[in-house]
Amino acid sequence: MLTPKSKRPFPRWPHGMAVLLVVATFPLIWVGGLVTTYDAGMAVEDWPTTRGYNLLLYPWQTWIAGPWDVFIEHGHRLLGFLVGVLTITLNVAVWLRDYRRWMRWVALAALGLVLTQGILGGMRVIQNSQQLALIHGCVGPLFFALTVAIAAFTSRWWNARDLRLQHPAAGKLHRLAVLTFVLAYVQLILGAQLRHLPVDASLGMFRGVVWAHLFFAAVLTVYVLSLAGRIVAQYRRLTHLLVPALGISLLLLVQLALGAATWVVKYSWPTFAVAWKWTQYYTIQADGMLQSSITTAHVANGSLILATAILLALRSTRLVQRGVVQTPLGDGYLGEAVA
Amino acid sequence: MKFKTETNNSCFRFGLCLALAVGMLGCGNETLRFHLDMVWIRSNEDPEVAFQPEQLQNLSNVLGAVFGTPNKPHVLQDSDIGVEKLVNRDLLQLAAGPVWNDPQGKSHGLYRKHCAHCHGVSGDGAGSTAAYLNPYPRDYRRGIFKFKSTPKGEKPTNSDLEKTLLEGIPGTSMPSFVLLPDDEIAALVDYVKFLSIRGEVERNLVLELSDLEEGELLVSDETLEDGKELIQDAVSFVVNRWSRAESKVAIPAACPSSADPRTATGEEMERSITRGYHLFHGVIANCFTCHGETALGDGQLDLFDDWTEELQPKDPERHAELMSLAQRPQPARNLRPRNLRLGIYRGGRRPLDIYWRLINGIDGAKMPQVPMVDPNDPGKPGMSDSDLWDLINYVRSLPYETLSRPAYQSQTDHVQLTKPL
Amino acid sequence: MQTRSTGSSISKIVLAGALVFTLGCDNRVSIDRYAPNSQSVSKLRSLLEESGDEDLDGDLDGDLSEESGDGGARTENDSPATNPTGYATLRGQVIIRGVPPANPELTVSRDTDMCGTSAQDLQLVVGANGGIQNVLIYAEDIPEAWCNPSALEVSEDFIFDQKNCVFLTRVAAFQTSQKMKILNSDPKGHNTDFSPRFGASYNQLIAAGGYGYYQTEAEEKQPVSVKCAIHPWMQAWLFPRSNGYFAVTDAEGNFEVPNLPAGVKITLRAWHEIPKYIQNVTVSGEKQKWSKGRFNRTLEADGVLDLSVTIDAGEFD
């Protein structure tokens, strides 16, 4: 019996910090998307300083009242700084309050990733490199997914290893969820490729990436829908799975619509749409509200899909039969008893 | 234990994806440069003797000397030629190069930020997205622009180019850049002019090259003076064309008050529109031949615009080669006369815009100028100024006209109506 | 087993992704391989940007080309100081050897009542005697001072007509001093469309039975294609020149260019719609190569040079 340990109070701090981090990271992703949408990555030409000022000392009046591209780029840096600070705080919380040694490594990994990401962003500015911008854009959502994972690891539901949840067919579900996550990430990289296309990219490259993005969109749709279908069919009583499953389906539908809309507001209607007269009345407005918000929403929503996918992938592991029966207890904090 | 391996496995997968993204780093990053117009070079090659690599290298060097590179465009310092009067050096530098903001907050690299993905770094209309756009992005290098206040063969004015940038072109991928500050628009206009001049000078030099003897260079150590003169002539010719654009603007004749929508009574307008209807179907203006009996734009469907026509030699193999050099997918797209019943006018919908389309024609797109009467030659059939406004009124009324209006029934009707009612 | 199959599907997906990336790599625009050479560029730039009057570090033939004056003239005249000793006539006949290839059939897509239902694209017109019509012979880069007044003072209108959807002059040269009157002798509209390189462009509707005028400001170096957008199969070639030293062969293939400057070497060029510049010829039984259609002659004052030019039918394929 593990009574002594399980009687320790469940540590709220790490989970609270992790959720806060998730909440802070999503706007960071959104603003990062805006920076790319407005091609504002080079709006401030120095780093880590902003126009010669220390990041935090850049006059806020100049920032707020200044040009839009500087506003979002500096805002992105400030938010990035905030997320960095939150990640450090999370590390402290995990170090002090979480009893699982491996959690410390995970939290440390998050810190490493956020630092790397900051330096990537900085190098992108210093070298004015589209390729670094692309990598920066791909690592961001990965960090976001990691924060969601940490929030999941530190949650009460995760730690309350409810053996009644275990299900013989859960392995399949788990694999499906992991695959969905991988696919969502590949799809995200493809999207980032489109957004960071080199200015002298060949027509073949654009064609290749567009078609791959469409192909993976179709594959991902099939995976997401079958994952959600499986959960609704077999595990609908588990709110912790049902809610993200319904969520990811909804996000996916929104994402498909946003993707199609992004094409239209950037490149106008595809050739076959010429037949519909009403399409011909539309004039694109470069950097207009419609164009930038739809494009950025498509990017941010992609990150949300990725985050939901990792949540499902992690939660579904809890259903997988481990064969190791540690405790007959139901709800209860197991602490380090996890193998 | 099993759980652990599972985690490792997914870590491995993340790693793979990350590695793929990082793999992109290894991609070559050749410095950007302007490319030669290989379509034009191939089209003007002697069928018996191809251009020698040294000749083309020499051509590329000459163009580099006159126009610099995409990162550092050059304005030729020769007051007799006067490139600097046409394009502002500072604005040009603002539009060129990579995207960044200077410490004063000025945006640089505007062309790459806003234009190059479609119009290409060299302005060849073959940026990476080009194949998916309909219509294809404009190739500036021919020096032909469709929507302008000047007649065919003349260059657009600054305000013509500005208008296209500010308003965009409805129904196409050309956006409106109305949100850009004025100086950025001015910089883009100058850069587009610069690319266009560069491209047209290149085309003219290729023609000169094709006229030289086999293997002869445009300018070599032995022919320095001749070569210099040849290049100067080629540049100043194109520059002169651009400089005189302003003087070639068609000034519209006053619209008679009985045809002016602001002053005419309803009955007068109706009469004006009816007169325009007959002009549309008459054999002076001949609008119906291309825009169709019903003005749906279905009268002449097998033409190509000037940019595409260049890719249509009779020999199918040659055609395929030029299409691939131009990076245009097969099959080539035909020119579509505008469907006038949509009420979308790509060059602008003000009466003045339509006036310019009629009096100037549309350069590059086959639309001819309407024939005008000559006060000194009463025998010459043509349209009077007031006829022109009637026709404009009719064109502008077409989106609201019902298709059920009896069309011109027979061909003979067209023939009889040489004089408007 | 299940894990393995999942694993392989993952690897398939990843492989597909990798393929896309490798496609992405190395996929920059590569239209030509002629990157400007920075050394040559700076040398050329300093050549172009030095003030015009300065001597080019003792360049030998600098003075020479300056005097010949004519922009871009690159013919190697013996010495421009030599003046013509008089005037002479060049005439001759252009004959085809072998069976001329058939002209392509045209698709008459509209106005068949006026244009007929079928037509041939009269690219190559060969007379009964084998004479080739519509070969253009002209003298290149003749300084104005060398010209006979008769070759300069032409001012009557040059008439360019169209009937039954055919331009009545398939190949025509005229002088820049002439006004071109474009007629439409058909009962329906035509539009006459041409874009010269140096002169003004033209694309005007010519009303049924009407006409329009064109005045150019510059001579051309190559014949200019003339089209009609309403009847796209119509084709003609125009060649505005600053002097009258040109001729277009008639139905028997005959041509005559009178009053050419004599006693000086002049460059003549021969052009036909199909091969463009005519390069492979037999002149009076002797095979000759006219590179880019050029051939040089020095005529004797008051003399007549008779050229009998034979061209293989193969040149017109």
Contact list in A for residue C29 (CB cut-off 8 A) is 200-202
For residue B116, what pLDDT is reported?
96
Asked if A199 and B27 come within 8 Å (Cβ–Cβ), the reply is no
Asked if C16 and A212 come within 8 Å (Cβ–Cβ), the reply is yes
Q: What is the mean pLDDT of chain C?
A: 85
**B49 has pLDDT over 90:** no
B289 and B240, same structural domain?
Answer: no
The rounded distance, in Å, linking the Cα atoms of A155 and A16 is 9
Mutate to test the interface with B, among A116, A268, A317, A319 (most CBs of B within 10 A): A268
A172 and A140, same structural domain?
Answer: no
In chain B, the residue whose alpha carbon lies closest to the alpha carbon of C36 is B61
The rounded distance, in Å, linking the Cα atoms of C317 and B119 is 38
Kindly state the helix (H) or strand (E) to which residue C175 belongs, with its residue range.
strand C171-175
The rounded distance, in Å, linking the Cα atoms of B43 and B54 is 18
Kindly state the helix (H) or strand (E) to which residue A128 belongs, with its residue range.
none
Compute the C-alpha angle A276/A278/A279, nearest 5°. Answer: 75
B216 and B293, same structural domain?
Answer: no
Neighbours of chain C (3+ CB pairs under 8 A): A, B
Neighbours of C241 (CB within 10 A): 21
Mean pLDDT calculated for residue range B334-346: 92
In chain A, the residue whose alpha carbon lies closest to the alpha carbon of B181 is A67
> Cis before residue A328, ω within 30 degrees of 0?
no
B194 and B294, same structural domain?
Answer: no
The Cα of C22 is separated from the nearest Cα of chain B by a number of Å equal to 8
For residues B70 and B34, the answer to whether their CB atoms sit within 8 Å is yes
The rounded distance, in Å, linking the Cα atoms of B145 and B127 is 18
The rounded distance, in Å, linking the Cα atoms of B16 and C216 is 67
Contact list in B for residue C193 (CB cut-off 8 A) is 366, 368
B379 and B275, same structural domain?
Answer: yes
Least confident of B50-59, B332-341, B395-404: B395-404
In chain C, the residue whose alpha carbon lies closest to the alpha carbon of A180 is C10
> What is the end-to-end Cα distance of chain B in Å, rounded?
95
What are the pLDDT digits (tens) for C259-294? 999 999 999 999 999 999 999 999 988 999 999 999
* Residue positions counted in chain B: 421
For residue A338, what pLDDT is reported?
35
In this complex, which of A202, A209, A219 lies closest to C20 when CB atoms are compared? A209
Contact list in B for residue C232 (CB cut-off 8 A) is 302-303
**C94 has pLDDT over 80:** yes
What are the pLDDT digits (tens) for C130-174? 999 999 999 999 999 999 999 997 889 999 999 999 999 999 999
What confidence category does residue A130 fall into, taking pLDDT thresholds of 50, 70 and 90?
confident
A55 and A181, same structural domain?
Answer: no
The Cα of B312 is separated from the nearest Cα of chain A by a number of Å equal to 21
Q: A292 burial class (0-12, 13-18, 19+ CB within 10 angstroms)? A: buried
B373 and B287, same structural domain?
Answer: yes
Please give the backbone phi and psi of residue A45, each rounded to the nearest 5 degrees, phi first.
-90, -5
Asked if residue B5 is part of any domain, the answer here is no
In this complex, which of B27, B80, B211 lies closest to C25 when CB atoms are compared? B27
B220 and B87, same structural domain?
Answer: yes
For residue A326, what pLDDT is reported?
45
Strand C171-175, strand C235-241: pairing? parallel
What confidence category does residue C73 fall into, taking pLDDT thresholds of 50, 70 and 90?
very low
Asked if B76 and C48 come within 8 Å (Cβ–Cβ), the reply is yes
For residue B15, what pLDDT is reported?
55
For residue C57, what pLDDT is reported?
45
**B23 has pLDDT over 80:** no
> What is the end-to-end Cα distance of chain C in Å, rounded?
68
Question: At a CB cut-off of 8 Å and minimum separation 6, what does C285 contact?
Answer: none
Asked if residue B259 is part of any domain, the answer here is no
In this complex, which of C2, C9, C20 lies closest to A190 when CB atoms are compared? C20
A91 and A60, same structural domain?
Answer: yes
Between the alpha carbon of residue A106 and those of residues A151, A311, A320, C311, the distances in Å are 11, 15, 22, 86
Mean pLDDT calculated for residue range B176-201: 97
A271 and A185, same structural domain?
Answer: yes
In our burial notation (b when 16+ CB lie closer than 10 A, e otherwise), range B96-128 reads bbbbbbeeeebbbbbbbbbbbbbbbbbbbbbbb
**A1 has pLDDT over 70:** no
Q: What is the mean pLDDT of chain A?
A: 89
**A302 has pLDDT over 60:** yes
What are the pLDDT digits (tens) for B81-110? 999 999 999 999 999 999 998 888 889 999
For residue B420, what pLDDT is reported?
42
In this complex, which of A205, A216, A219 lies closest to C27 when CB atoms are compared? A205
Token digits for B251? 């000034």
What are the pLDDT digits (tens) for A211-228? 999 999 999 999 999 999
The rounded distance, in Å, linking the Cα atoms of C229 and B299 is 11
Least confident of A220-224, B289-293, C33-37, C79-83: C79-83
For residues B113 and B234, the answer to whether their CB atoms sit within 8 Å is no
For residue C62, what pLDDT is reported?
37
Q: B375 burial class (0-12, 13-18, 19+ CB within 10 angstroms)? A: exposed
Mean pLDDT calculated for residue range B308-327: 93
Contact list in C for residue A183 (CB cut-off 8 A) is 13
Domain containing A217: what range?
167-321
Domain with residue B368: its CATH number is 1.10.760
For residue B418, what pLDDT is reported?
43
What is the tally of structural domains in chain A?
2
B288 and B234, same structural domain?
Answer: no
What are the pLDDT digits (tens) for B168-187? 999 999 999 999 999 999 99
CATH dotted code for C85-151+244-317 = 2.60.40.10
For residue A271, what pLDDT is reported?
80
Token digits for B211? 């006229």
B133 and B282, same structural domain?
Answer: no
What confidence category does residue C20 fall into, taking pLDDT thresholds of 50, 70 and 90?
low
Mean pLDDT calculated for residue range B404-417: 51
What is the tally of structural domains in chain B?
2
Contact list in C for residue B57 (CB cut-off 8 A) is 34, 37
Classify the complex by whether its ipTM is higher than 0.85, answering yes or no.
Answer: yes
In this complex, which of A135, A267, A270 lies closest to B21 when CB atoms are compared? A135
Asked if B223 and C222 come within 8 Å (Cβ–Cβ), the reply is no
Mean pLDDT calculated for residue range A271-297: 90
Radius of gyration of the CA atoms of chain B, in A: 26
Asked if A182 and B102 come within 8 Å (Cβ–Cβ), the reply is no
Asked if residue B142 is part of any domain, the answer here is yes
For residue A309, what pLDDT is reported?
97
For residue C67, what pLDDT is reported?
37
In chain C, the residue whose alpha carbon lies closest to the alpha carbon of A220 is C13
Token digits for C253? 């293939």
Q: Which of C292, C285, C258, C302 is nearest to C97 (CA)?
A: C285
What are the pLDDT digits (tens) for B353-366? 999 999 999 999 99
Mean pLDDT calculated for residue range A26-49: 93
Compute the C-alpha angle C246/C313/C136, nearest 5°. Answer: 10
Q: Name the fold adopted by C153-242.
A: Immunoglobulin-like (2.60.40)
Mean pLDDT calculated for residue range C293-302: 94
A183 and A48, same structural domain?
Answer: no
B199 and B273, same structural domain?
Answer: no
Mean pLDDT calculated for residue range C117-132: 92
C306: helix, strand or coil:
strand
Bridge partners of C139, per DSSP, are: C268
Token digits for A110? 């998050």
Each domain of chain C, given as residue ranges in start order, spans 85-151+244-317, 153-242
Mean pLDDT calculated for residue range B5-17: 50
Domain containing B134: what range?
38-248
What are the pLDDT digits (tens) for A19-37? 999 999 999 999 999 999 9
Asked if C15 is an interface residue toward chain B (Cβ–Cβ < 8 A), one would say no
